[in-house]
Structure formats: structure tokens, C-alpha cells
């Protein structure tokens, strides 16, 4: 089996097209077939090399390799349509010679008038066939004289064109509604339906998996296959990916491209797994499966023809699963761009900083939807200001309570002669000393400790966060990690400011306006 994915390099890889690429890949791998990557870049105004490179990068990021095509090579190239123009010209000439195609000289204004008349009469608009009977010799003389012309397919009259869609079953079109499609434009450039048939036919494509928006193109393409004497491939038309409002997924729904989901910190295996679940189920008890396992179970006949809705909440759920399963070193590598942007890793981390990151990042990643949220989970490690804590109206009021003040002072005293709290046992031992000295327990004990050490009323579990703070504080200058104030220094500074406010009767330092 030979399949192809043939994107146009006119922008980023949309998740709908990425799903099409994925289903082609799954079908090729499940059948032991070949997947070909072809670039349909005949739209010279919109196609760019940068977009082509980005599409290839996105496919590789998703883990979707191809066996033949651009950058890989093969025996059926070239694999860019812009490099195949002579091939299209030769095949257009072949169709003209066999009378399966003809030259059309109708002006755009004439075609528009015919279209409006058909609509007014309640008929589907199609070419009226004005030029079908012009003798080839006469048409050739007019072209030689400089008269612009397109080349149209001569669609048989009074026929039904039927194909069995691998997703939808039998589909039939009558040639009454097809008209004679343009194969080659007046400037010599090939139209989509012509180029794709020539490419698929010459490249030996045996199955075409694409979006349902191409269903109406299929009868025209089948007639072209017949005109060339070629066997058409089998077709499978996938339902479109919809937004939450059940309209085709687009920019108005937010993030829609693979590159954007990557930039938000989704793992490739999560996006791929989720895309596979839109309109298809692998069966069994577990739908969270790696690519190879998805391929082993894939069956194009089991794909639903109902529209699938892209639900980012479910994607986040899938991503959380893969974040928890990912190796610490990989999580660090993938999180570094976000940590660098936050200023937490201003330089390439050395061995000690790297060890700290491989401890802290997995802890943070275990409670986020995507890696872009990791810096916020680590913010309490890097961003502490005792004066800001005292200037916060809610926190200042809480710390002013006698019980909270007693806990804060006892914490500062307990930490003054204690080693760094490098693990949860050391933190729990300090908490026990503070409990004994202050007489507080439960929330009355741990809430003031949290505020004193993090400057926040809520956050990650203290017995995980506190060791992360103190281990980071021990890292030497130039480790690659931003400097972190240790727990001892935090508690001491906050106790000092609370002591000042108690002696002056002032509620605490005010934030500067």
C-alpha cells in the first residue's frame, strides 16, 4: 500500500491537517506500506520555503517519519509540484490529443454571467460547454495567435461516477452536476485536480486519505484517472475537526497549529495520541497509547464519518498523563525554554543546577497541564520578597494575629541554627520544633509557615517546596540558576519586619505605588 501526505506550504501545519497526516501514517504502518511526503507548492504567491521547512519540522516533532518524498528521496520524484511543471504540460498535451480535454476561450465575464443565470434558475452552477465542440485545429490556431485559453476536462454526459469511500461507504455523483473542470489555467499553471491526479498516478499511490472537503473533487479525479487509463486509488475522506461551537476549527477558536501547541508546552506524544482519538478509538481498556501501538490497532474502516470536536481540556488531560510518565532529564530539556524566558535559568545550567532541575521540574510538571506552566509552579522558589509579603493587606492581617506571629518568630529561631532543609524529613523536624515552641498545630501552624517561607497563601506541598528552596539556595554563583533566598534568610527577614511593625504599631511596609 502506498499513501501520501501532500500539504501546501502556505502557513503553519493546522491540527486538522496534522490529523490527516497521522491517519495516513497509521494506515501505512499498520499495512506495512509506504508513506510519501509531497509538497503541493504551485501557489507561487503564498508558498514559502520557510513554511515547507516548518511543516517538516512539525511532522518530525510529532514522530511522523516518511519513507519517500522531499528530503528523503525516492524513484518517483521530483516531490515538489513546482519542479514537475514539464510533467504536467506533457500530460495535458496527452489529454488534448486523445480528445479527453479541450481548450476553452470563454472570458471571465461570460463564465460569471452563466453562473448567475444557473443560480437564478435553481440549477447548480457549472460550465455551459460553450467551447467543447471547437475543432482542435481551430483551437490551436487561436492559441498560436495569442488568444488566452484554459484546458478543460471533457466530462462524459449522462454518467454516474461511483466510488466506495473507506470511511463512508458507496458515494455517487452524476456528471450532470460536475461540469467540465479546468485542468490547466491560461498562464500554464496546473489546477489542483489535474496536478494531484498526475502526481498520485505517476507515484503509484494506492490509497488517498484526506479531509471530507475533498469529496466533491473525487468524481472529477476519477474521470481523469479513466482518461489516462489508470486505476484510481481507494479514497477515504475524514470528517473535519470542529471547534467547541461545532464550526470548522479556525483561529477564532484560539490555538490551531501544531507549532502553537508545541509552544504552549504540550508533548508531541500527547498531541498525537489525542488527534488519533478524534473520530477513532483504538478499542480495549486503554486509549492512551504510543504511536506504534496505535498503528498496530488502526483500522480506517472504524473511523467515524461524524465530525469530531477538538477539546483542549481533553488534550490537557492526555498531556498530564504523558508529563507524569516522562523522564526527568527530558522534562528539563523541554522546560528550559520556558524557564529561561522567566529568568530562572539565565545561563546554561551546570551539573549541580541540572541535578536540581531534574528534582524540581518533575515535581512541578506533575501538577500542570503543559510545560509552559512550570515556571509559575516554581515561582515561589525564585520570587520571594519579605517586604512585599508584609505589604499585602490580606497576608499582613493574617501575620498580625498573635498565633501567626508566634509561629513566624518560632520558625525564625528554629532555622537560625539549623542546617539547610534539603529533604522533607528535615522540614518536618523543624515544623515539629516550631509546633512545640509556638503551641500551634494544624492549619494554625502550617499556614503561617507557608506565608513566611513563600510569601503566598497557597501553593505546592511544603514538604516538597521547602527542600527545593533550600537546595537551590545552596547552589554556587554561576551555576546557571538564578539566585534563590534560602528558608533561613526568608524567615529571618520576615520576623525582623514583623518585629519592627510590632514596635512601631505600624502594620508593616507599604508597597511602593
Out of 116, 126, 251, 264, the active site residue is 251
Tell me which DSSP letter residue 161 carries.
E
Can you name the residues that pair with 184 across neighbouring β-strands? 151, 190
SS3 441: coil
Q: Tell the residue number behind the cell numbers 522540614, with chain if given.
A: 427
H or E element that contains 35? strand 34-37
Angstrom distances, CA of residue 360 to CA of 337, 363, 424: 16, 5, 13
Is residue 126 part of the annotated active site? The answer reads no
Distance CA 47, CA 10 (A): 5
Q: Tell the residue number behind the cell numbers 478499542, with chain if given.
A: 283
SS3 265: coil
CB count within 10 Å of CB 20 equals 21
All cell numbers assigned to 493: 527577614
CA proximity to 24, closest of 9, 6, 3, 2: 3
Can you name the residues that pair with 35 across neighbouring β-strands? 3
CA proximity to 334, closest of 251, 262, 258: 262
CA proximity to 36, closest of 8, 87, 81, 77: 77
Distance CA 211, CA 222 (A): 17
Distance CA 176, CA 160 (A): 9
Angstrom distances, CA of residue 61 to CA of 20, 25, 56, 272, 291: 16, 14, 8, 10, 13
CA proximity to 498, closest of 486, 507, 489: 507
User: ∠ CA 72-77-78 to the nearest 5 degrees?
Assistant: 95
Angstrom distances, CA of residue 392 to CA of 396, 449, 490, 511: 6, 16, 16, 8
3-state secondary structure 274-311: HHHCCCCCCCCCCCCCCHHHHHHHCCHHHCCCCCEECC
CA proximity to 245, closest of 159, 307, 319, 168: 307
Distance CA 485, CA 472 (A): 8
C-alpha torsion sign, points 64, 65, 66, 71: positive
Catalytic residue IDs = 251
Amino acid at each position: 500500500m502506498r499513501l501520501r501526505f501532500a500539504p501546501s506550504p502556505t502557513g503553519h501545519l493546522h491540527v486538522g491537517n496534522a490529523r490527516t497526516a497521522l491517519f495516513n501514517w497509521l494506515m501505512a504502518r499498520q499495512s506495512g506500506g509506504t508513506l510519501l511526503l509531497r509538497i503541493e507548492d504551485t501557489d507561487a504567491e503564498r508558498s514559502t520555503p520557510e513554511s515547507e521547512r516548518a511543516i517538516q519540522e512539525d511532522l518530525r516533532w510529532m514522530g511522523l517519519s516518511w519513507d519517500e518524498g522531499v528530503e528523503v528521496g525516492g524513484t518517483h520524484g521530483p516531490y515538489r509540484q513546482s519542479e514537475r511543471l514539464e510533467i504536467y504540460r506533457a500530460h495535458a498535451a496527452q489529454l488534448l490529443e486523445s480528445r479527453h480535454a479541450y481548450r476553452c476561450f470563454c472570458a471571465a465575464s461570460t463564465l460569471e454571467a452563466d453562473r448567475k443565470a444557473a443560480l437564478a434558475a435553481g440549477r447548480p452552477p457549472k460550465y455551459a460547454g460553450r467551447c467543447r465542440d471547437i475543432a482542435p485545429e481551430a483551437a490551436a490556431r487561436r492559441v498560436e495567435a495569442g488568444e488566452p485559453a484554459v484546458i478543460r476536462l471533457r466530462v462524459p454526459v449522462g454518467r454516474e461516477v461511483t466510488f466506495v469511500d473507506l470511511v463512508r461507504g458507496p458515494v455517487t455523483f452524476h456528471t450532470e452536476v460536475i461540469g467540465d473542470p479546468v485542468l490547466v489555467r491560461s498562464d500554464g499553471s496546473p489546477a489542483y485536480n489535474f496536478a494531484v491526479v498526475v502526481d498520485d498516478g505517476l507515484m503509484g499511490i494506492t490509497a488517498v486519505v484526506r479531509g471530507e472537503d475533498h469529496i466533491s473533487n473525487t468524481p472529477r479525479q476519477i474521470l481523469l484517472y479513466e482518461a489516462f487509463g489508470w486505476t484510481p486509488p481507494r479514497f477515504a475522506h475524514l470528517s473535519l475537526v470542529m471547534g467547541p461551537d461545532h464550526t470548522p476549527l479556525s483561529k477564532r477558536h484560539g490555538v490551531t497549529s501544531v507549532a502553537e501547541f508545541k509552544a504552549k508546552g504540550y508533548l508531541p506524544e500527547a498531541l498525537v495520541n489525542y488527534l488519533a482519538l478524534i473520530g477513532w478509538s483504538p478499542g480495549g481498556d486503554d486509549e492512551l497509547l504510543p504511536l506504534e501501538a496505535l498503528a498496530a490497532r488502526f483500522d480506517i474502516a472504524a473511523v467515524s464519518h461524524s465530525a469530531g470536536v477538538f477539546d483542549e481540556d481533553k488534550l490537557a488531560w492526555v498531556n498530564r498523563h504523558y508529563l507524569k510518565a516522562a523522564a526527568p532529564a527530558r522534562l528539563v530539556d523541554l522546560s528550559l525554554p520556558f524557564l529561561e524566558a522567566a529568568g530562572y535559568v539565565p545561563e546554561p545550567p551546570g551539573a549541580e543546577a541540572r541535578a536540581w532541575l531534574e528534582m524540581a521540574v518533575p515535581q512541578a510538571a506533575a501538577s500542570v497541564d503543559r510545560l509552559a506552566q512550570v515556571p509559575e509552579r516554581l515561582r515561589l522558589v525564585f520570587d520571594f520578597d519579605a517586604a512585599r509579603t508584609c505589604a499585602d493587606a490580606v497576608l499582613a492581617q493574617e501575620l498580625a494575629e498573635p498565633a501567626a506571629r508566634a509561629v513566624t518568630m518560632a520558625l525564625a529561631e528554629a532555622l537560625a541554627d539549623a542546617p539547610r532543609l534539603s529533604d522533607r524529613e528535615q522540614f518536618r523536624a523543624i515544623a515539629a520544633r516550631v509546633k512545640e515552641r509556638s503551641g500551634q498545630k494544624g492549619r494554625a501552624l502550617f499556614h503561617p509557615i507557608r506565608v513566611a517561607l513563600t510569601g503566598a497563601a497557597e501553593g505546592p506541598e511544603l514538604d516538597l517546596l521547602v527542600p527545593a528552596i533550600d537546595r537551590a539556595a545552596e547552589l554556587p554563583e554561576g551555576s546557571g540558576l538564578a539566585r534563590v533566598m534560602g528558608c533561613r534568610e526568608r524567615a529571618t527577614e520576615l520576623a525582623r519586619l514583623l518585629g519592627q511593625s510590632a514596635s512601631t504599631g505600624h502594620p508593616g511596609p507599604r508597597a511602593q505605588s
